[in-house]
Amino acid sequence: MQNDKSAALILVVDDQADMLHMMKLMLERSGYRVEIARSAQQALLIAPEKCPDIIVSDIGMPGMDGCEMMSILRRQHGPRAFKSIALTGYGLPCDQDRISESGFDLCLLKPVEFPALVEHIEQMLRSQSDAPLESLPFHHAAFSDATSEIPLQMAAEH
């Protein structure tokens, strides 16, 4: 995992072209190197070749969704090969459980504020910890205060 922002490679996965290109532009302007995948299937081809530091993926995509993609990548490359952020509109506890179980490190509910996304990316890049998934934060974009982050294991309680 790279600590240097300019050396960090982020793979963004989304089936919505506008969102994909906006994320690419904003992340590049923030100093990151960015690869894009227009589908989960394309991400499965790009990830082993490019070895991203972080994968930022939409969950709801046609064909293979983000959870299926992440499960495959984690089986192929191990749980610590890269960090991962799920972007989703699915906020029910059962959805959060599925996202967590598939191997995502963090889940951000849409609409995601870009500065918050960058803050989480920077935190992941600084982190040398191999903390278990349960201790990593869950973030609900609808909240604006610091209490909006709770561990994934506690998401069902709120």
Domains and CATH numbers, the chain: 5-157 (3.40.50.2300)
pLDDT tens for each residue of 106-127: 999 999 999 999 999 999 999 8
pTM of the model: 0.80
pLDDT at 145: 32
Closest to 12 measured CA to CA, from 143, 140, 42, 62 = 42
Q: How far apart are alpha carbons 133 and 49 in whole angstroms? A: 25
Tokens of 62: 């046609």
| pLDDT beneath 70: ranges in the chain | 1-6, 128-158
- For residue 113, the 8-state DSSP code is P
